[in-house]
Structure 1
């Protein structure tokens, strides 16, 4: 799994590619630790390259969502592949997260 974090103004963009499984979820959690220091974070996670996510990966997403919500911030997940979207749907996570089809939708939502 690969991921990168960049900033455009006040917005943080996280790009994920590969599989987020038992081994990679902890690595991802460590890489996003700087996000837990932001006041009122505005985060978009580009999931276009995410091929698979398991319960450990979902747990990391949930931890991030809880923190961002507690800081009155925003978290958007964009461009989930159908196979990843199915996992979000089956686990009920689709109802918890703001899921957008593409990055243009994100610009309109803001």
Structure 2
């Protein structure tokens, strides 16, 4: 799993690539929460290159969304691939997390 981050205004874009599973979810969570700890309260997860997410990965996304909400911030997801979208849908996450088609739409939703 690779994580690349960039800033667009006051929004952090986290590009996830590969797979999020029990072997790497803890490290990913630490990386993402580190940004929140440094005052980054608007985050877009760009999932265009993510091809698998396990329940451990779903937990990371949920914990991040919860932490951002508590801090007065927000999370938006974009570019979800069909196989990953199905996991988010089955788990009920699509009903509770904002999902946008494009990175630009996700950034604008947090403005």
TM-score (norm 2): 0.90
Residue equivalent to 1:79: 79
Other-structure match for 1:9: 9
What is the number of equivalent residue pairs in this alignment? 110
**Is contact 2:44–2:107 with CA below 8 Å preserved after alignment?**
no
Report Cα offsets for 1:51-96 as digits up to 9, x if no partner.
Answer: 0001000001111000111111111011000100000000101111
- Output the CA distance in 1 between the equivalents of 2:61 and 2:107: 21
2-structure distance, mates of 1:17, 1:38: 23
Distance 1:70 1:95, change over 3 A: same
Q: For the aligned residues, what is the CA RMSD?
A: 1.5
Unaligned runs of 5+ in 2: none
Unaligned residue ranges in structure 1 (runs of 5+)? none
1:33-72 equivalences in 2 (<5 Å): 33-39=33-39, 41-72=41-72
Is the contact made by 1:40 and 1:74 (CA closer than 8 Å) also made in structure 2?
A: no
Q: TM-score with structure 1 length normalisation?
A: 0.91
Deviations 1:6-38 (A, max 9, x none): 222211110100000110111211221322314
